[in-house]
């Protein structure tokens, strides 16, 4: 997954299916203002907890936007190329909840169900999806809504390897993480993950983590 080569970045001039830059003109309290934004799809995410093995089911993937942001100014050549021997793909690998954009006319629970199957290989009954919270993924440049679910799964529900849809260019690694590992991760000062994962893990530890799994204290 980390084998990323031939990176080139250029200004986006063509129409894009996913990134639609817009300019909003408006008057607020009698002052004319302008704000630039992008219109994005709403999304769903799901905290998957395998109760058989007491592990959270998360995903790792290469995220071009994260990679690009990790390359310093001087690493971006005038031609748009980035030297991947100096700036390897691993700096763009994130840890995330199973998630996806809402691009079908089905319920949000059904979208989450689809993503759990596509990304993580779990065929989860709809009734297992409990609503956690609906919020905004961003507020500055994008203002899309994300709905987060919690779903308990068992080994029996694991029907495929997961990994995302190859036809859509997805390359996703399913990661299982025990409670002790989650706590260690949360203790780190920096994490290459969206803040939604931090909220999800904090919420999970507070509301759902079995209480008998505290560290064998020293």
Residue 54 near residue 213 (C-beta atoms within 8 A): yes
Kindly state whether residue 196 participates in binding a second copy, applying the rule CB under 8 A. yes
49 or 157: whose CB is closer to a second copy?
49
Decide if 193 contacts 94 (C-beta within 8 A): yes
* Tokens 């970045």, located at residue: 9
Using the rule CB under 8 A, which residue among 77, 86, 106, 143 binds a second copy? 143
54 is a site residue for a second copy (CB under 8 A) = no
DSSP structure class, residue 26: E
Q: Is 73 in the site for a second copy (CB under 8 A)?
A: no
22-41 residues near a second copy, rule: CB under 8 A: 22-33, 35-40
Binding window for a second copy (CB under 8 A); candidates: 117-125, 143-151, 156-164, 175-183:
143-151
Q: Point out which span in 109-117, 131-139, 154-162, 174-182 binds a second copy (CB under 8 A).
A: 131-139
Q: How many CB atoms lie within 10 A of CB 39?
A: 12
Interface stretch with a second copy, choices 16-24, 111-119, 149-157, 208-216 (CB under 8 A) = 16-24
Q: For the CB of residue 142, give the shortest distance to a second copy in the complex, in Å.
A: 5
**How far, in Å, CA of 119 to CA of 196, rounded?**
18
Tell me: does residue 90 bind a second copy (CB under 8 A): no
Distances from the Cα of 38 to the Cαs of 103, 200, 204, 214, in angstroms? Answer: 17, 25, 31, 43
Map the footprint of a second copy across residues 149-168, applying CB under 8 A. none
- Site size toward a second copy (CB under 8 A) is 82
Using rule CB under 8 A, residue 87 touches a second copy: no
DSSP β-bridge partners for residue 81: 8
**Coil, strand, or helix at residue 118?**
helix
> Three-state DSSP class for 214?
coil
Q: Does 79 bind a second copy (CB under 8 A)?
A: no
Q: How far apart are CB 157 and a second copy at their closest, in Å?
A: 26
Q: Give the HSE-up count for residue 192: Cα atoms under 13 Å, Cβ half-sphere.
A: 17
């Amino acid at each position: 997954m980390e084998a990323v080569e031939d990176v080139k970045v250029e200004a986006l001039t063509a129409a894009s299916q996913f990134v639609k830059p817009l300019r909003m003109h408006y008057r607020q309290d009698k002052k004319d203002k302008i704000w630039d934004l992008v219109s994005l799809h709403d999304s769903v995410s799901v905290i998957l907890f395998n109760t058989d093995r007491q592990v959270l089911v998360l995903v790792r993937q290469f995220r071009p936007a994260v990679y690009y942001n990790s390359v310093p100014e001087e690493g971006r050549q005038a031609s748009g190329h980035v030297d991947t021997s100096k700036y390897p793909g691993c700096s763009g690998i994130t840890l995330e909840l199973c998630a996806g954009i809402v691009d079908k006319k089905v319920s949000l629970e059904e979208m989450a169900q689809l993503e759990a199957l596509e990304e993580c290989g779990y065929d989860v009954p709809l009734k297992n999806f409990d609503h956690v919270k609906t919020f905004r993924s961003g507020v500055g440049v994008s203002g899309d809504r994300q709905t987060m679910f919690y779903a308990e799964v068992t080994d029996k529900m694991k029907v495929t390897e997961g990994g995302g849809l190859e036809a859509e260019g997805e390359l996703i690694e399913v990661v299982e993480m025990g409670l002790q590992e989650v706590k260690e991760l949360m203790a780190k000062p920096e994490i290459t993950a969206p803040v939604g994962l931090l909220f999800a893990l904090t919420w999970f530890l507070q509301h759902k983590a079995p209480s008998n799994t505290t560290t064998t204290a020293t």
